[in-house]
Structure 1
Amino acid sequence: MGLYDYNFCHNLLYGGWDSGIINNLQDACREIQQNFEQMDLENASVEEEMREIVNEMITELNRLINDIQSTHFR
């Protein structure tokens, strides 16, 4: 029996330690969006630039989540 069996890996990703990696990444997406919404940006061009950066960050995190979720453990 291997050290990293299905249950160990599943708990690591979805629960167990501090809600799991997937939940932490999803929380990061929400927090990034929330922080952006709370910013006081008076300059429209700066706001648009920040919006693009935030959207890229969230997109990358979502890709990472999808890549992790596509991994199957035995």
Structure 2
Amino acid sequence: MGGEMIGGLIPPQREGVQPRWIVYFCVADVDEAVERVGKLGGAVVHGPIDTPVGPLAALRDPQGAAFSIWAFNGETQ
């Protein structure tokens, strides 16, 4: 949209993983965003981890809803 990536799909990363939808919010700094989520009552499920397309983390909000954050580095595979 306007030259910016607004969505994407990836194949399952491991055998036996069930298909699912995950919302990713792009952030400038994953570590800073993870810290803020914790201060606001959310929880880290996984990460932060470095990937070829930028660091990301899987989180839950205070009510338990899952989402992820990602600092997209502009690389595509």
Superposed pair shares fold, TM > 0.5: no
Instruction: Choose between structure 1 and 2 for higher RCO, CA contacts under 8 A separated by at least 6 residues.
Output: 1
Normalised to the residue count of structure 1, the TM-score between the two structures is 0.24
Larger Rg: 1
Normalised to the residue count of structure 2, the TM-score between the two structures is 0.23
